[in-house]
């Protein structure tokens, strides 16, 4: 397979491969517990943690496991979006997204998800992209339903966060369903 795209251009946003130069901005956006409430890898208690997270993800990119992008709006980091658990045998992967609170409700995640799904289906040739969502994360459930994801079921005790197990809904979009 050829190299993965490090930049994807949308109408209002640009997705750029996550690099260390974004550590400060990402760290700042992750200081808000409303943003991180349902996210794994909170990594916001110290900028060093954010830098380690980014380094780790650059390694995962090299190993063709995870593609992590910063969502840029007028050259500012608004959040991140990623394809992870890339499985080129079964042609499946997971998509996750988060934005700093000041960027919510502006259809930024919608545009970012469409851009990355287009890349996943049309260029990486994925057959199924799935989304794991904490069952109490209403905004996220509505968001993924709005972009056309279908509920597959509930994964019991699929996560262990802050000392508690949590159930997660699994949603997905198939290639033929994506427009």
Note the residues at the interface with ligand COA (CB under 6 A). Answer: 35, 38-39, 96-99, 104-110, 133, 137-140, 142-143, 146
Hey, is 48 helix, strand or coil?
helix
Give the max Cα distance, the chain.
Answer: 43
Residue 63 vs 142, nearer CB to ligand COA: 142
Nearer to ligand COA, 91 or 161 (CB): 161
CB of 2 to ligand COA, least distance (A): 29
CB of 100 vs ligand COA, minimal distance in Å: 8
For residue 177, give both structure tokens: 């369903």
H or E element at residue 111: helix 108-118
Q: Which lies closer to ligand COA via its Cβ, residue 106 or residue 150? A: 106
**Which one, 125 or 157, has the nearer CB to ligand COA?**
157
How far apart CA 73 and CA 153 sit, in angstroms, is 34
Provide the minimum distance between the beta carbon of 3 and ligand COA in the complex, in angstroms, as a whole number: 28
Contact criterion met (CB below 8 Å) for 128 and 172: yes
- Among 112, 141, 130, CA closest to 174: 130
* Residue 148 Cβ vs ligand COA, minimum distance, rounded to whole Å: 11
């Amino acid at each position: 397979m050829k190299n993965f795209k490090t930049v994807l251009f949308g109408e209002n946003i640009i997705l750029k491969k996550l690099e260390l130069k974004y550590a400060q901005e990402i760290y700042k956006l992750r200081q808000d517990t409303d943003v991180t409430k349902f996210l794994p890898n909170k990594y916001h208690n110290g900028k060093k943690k954010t830098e380690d997270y980014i380094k780790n993800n650059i390694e995962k990119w090299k190993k063709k496991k995870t593609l992590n992008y910063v969502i840029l709006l007028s050259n500012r980091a608004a959040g991140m979006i990623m394809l992870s658990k890339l499985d080129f045998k079964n042609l499946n992967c997971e998509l996750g997204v988060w934005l700093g609170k000041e960027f919510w409700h502006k259809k930024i995640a919608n545009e970012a998800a469409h851009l990355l799904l287009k890349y996943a289906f049309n260029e990486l040739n994925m057959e199924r992209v799935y989304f794991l969502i904490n069952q109490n994360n209403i905004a996220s459930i509505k968001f993924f339903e709005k972009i056309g994801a279908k509920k597959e079921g509930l994964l019991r005790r699929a996560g262990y966060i802050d000392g508690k197990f949590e159930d997660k809904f699994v949603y997905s979009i198939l290639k033929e369903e994506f427009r």
